[in-house]
Amino acid sequence: MNEDQIKNQINELIKDEIQEVINDYVDAKESTQESGLGFVQTEEEKELKVKVSKNEIDKIIKEYKKIKKSQRSNLSHVRKLGLVDKHGRPLK
């Protein structure tokens, strides 16, 4: 995958996570409105905007690439196979 595709996937994951939190908030708000407690959203609050720093996205991409590189290593494949040495100990 190229870096643009990775950035797009990270942005989608962030959006999905934010949407999930918003949905939980709205559900909780609706239940508190029914009970008469909590906050009431005004008509002016129609849109939520979130800004994520490009530096943070770059850090996430760097960590992602590091994890993927280690997953492709021969040692990672040995761990997945669950191989043991002649004494029955797992290979590290």
pLDDT digits (tens, 9 = 90+) for 9-57: 888 888 888 888 888 877 777 666 555 544 455 455 566 566 777 888 8
Same domain, 42 and 72: no
**Cα–Cα distance between 55 and 17 in angstroms, integer?**
19
φ, ψ (nearest 5 deg) of residue 87: -100, 0
Same domain, 72 and 36: no
Same domain, 13 and 3: yes
pTM of this structure: 0.44
Number of domains present in the structure of the chain:
2
CA 85, distance to chain mean position in Å, is 37
Same domain, 5 and 33: yes
Same domain, 68 and 28: no
Contact 7, 53 (CB under 8 A): no
The pLDDT tens digits of the residues spanning 36-46 come to: 544 455 455 56
- The token pair at 26 is 């709205």
Same domain, 5 and 43: yes
Domain holding 91, by residue range, is 53-92
Which distant-in-sequence residues (6+ apart) come within 8 Å of 59 by Cβ? none
